[in-house]
Amino acid sequence: MNAKHEDPAEYLRLLGQAGDGPHDIARAALMLAALDHAGRNLDPYFAHLVDIGRHARDEARLATSAEDGARSLAALFVGRYGYDGDRLAYDNPQNADLIAVIDRRRGLPVALGILYLHAARAAGFEASGLNTPGHFLLKIALRRSQALIDPFNGGAAVDRESLGAPPAMGSPAPEDPRLAEPVGDIEVLLRLNNNLKLRALQSGERARALEIAKRMVLIAPRRPELWIELARFNEAAGALGAAQKAYEACLTLAPTGAALHNEAAFGLQSMKRRLN
């Protein structure tokens, strides 16, 4: 799989135009990471994904249930490759950069989860991320059976009754129906990027947060809430022309009368006054 000469930004633009997916989610995450690694040869990373897929199929060939599949994925990532959650430096931005995650074999739940999703699908399982606030989990299904997997904790199977979150993170009540809701691949990629954006804001790196906001719009161009956020970042950075365009995009996408629509209209008027 030769990706050396593929333009990551163009790949991601086309991904955003294609909608929620499913997509080749690990490939997309690598393309996002490549934006921070200009000139890096991606071929070894894509070769690693191919290797993961091949071994996932081999490990799961005798699986008769989703529980078997969950065990085979854990054996693959922990036993063969040594992947695990980074508990010592959880907030390190490298944990949300898939290139660095592959290099270090450590990452955040959502970054590791993307690799698990890639492997599960390669093995023939249905697989999706779950709407679990605070801690990313995934669900796999095979022959009418299902299993929940925690990629941060060695691919451990999770009982619905014991759903939780990492230390210092909020967790909804176990009976919260949102816990079982699957999310699309774009939502998973946005969650990955949101980790980078929040860490940039926490460290005062406003320019970095703006760059991540641009990437989020690139892969999800139909979401008005992302455009309004991009408009705010651009306005704060003094990029008034870019802010105006972002407000206009939000105005086009947000329902008339909605709070986002009203905020975008107000912001657009303000931009026009400042630019004229």
Q: What does the pLDDT look like over 53-64, one tens digit per residue?
A: 999 999 888 899
Q: What is the pLDDT of residue 5?
A: 61
Place of tokens 């980074």: 86
| Tens digits of residue pLDDT in 230-240 | 999 999 999 99
Q: If you average pLDDT over residues 181-189, what whole number do you get?
A: 94
Percent of the chain topping pLDDT 70: 90
Q: What is the pLDDT of residue 180?
A: 63
Contact 59, 65 (CB under 8 A): no
Other C-beta atoms closer than 10 Å to the C-beta of 66 total: 24
Query: What is the rounded distance in angstroms from the CA atom of residue 209 to the CA atom of residue 50?
Result: 32
Query: What is the rounded distance in angstroms from the CA atom of residue 276 to the CA atom of residue 198?
Result: 33
CA dihedral for 58, 61, 62, 67, sign (positive or negative): positive
Cβ within 8 Å of residue 27, ≥6 positions away: 3, 46, 49
Question: Quick check: 3 pLDDT over 60?
Answer: no
**Which two tokens mark 41?**
């040869």
In the beta sheet, which residues pair with residue 150?
156
pLDDT category of residue 15 using cuts at 50, 70 and 90: very high
| Tens digits of residue pLDDT in 193-230 | 999 999 999 999 999 999 999 999 999 999 999 999 99
The whole-model pTM stands at: 0.91
pLDDT category of residue 123 using cuts at 50, 70 and 90: very high
CATH class of the domain at 8-185:
alpha beta
Domain boundaries of the chain, sorted by first residue: 8-185, 223-275
pLDDT category of residue 176 using cuts at 50, 70 and 90: low
How many H-runs (helices) and E-runs (strands) does the chain carry? 11, 7
Q: If you average pLDDT over residues 14-33, what whole number do you get?
A: 95
Question: Quick check: 177 pLDDT over 70?
Answer: no
Query: What is the rounded distance in angstroms from the CA atom of residue 273 to the CA atom of residue 276?
Result: 5
Contact 135, 109 (CB under 8 A): yes
Question: Quick check: 273 pLDDT over 90?
Answer: no
**Which two tokens mark 188?**
């998973």
Cβ within 8 Å of residue 46, ≥6 positions away: 1, 3, 27, 30
| Length, in residues, of the chain | 276
**Which two tokens mark 218?**
């690139």
Give the mean pLDDT of the chain.
90
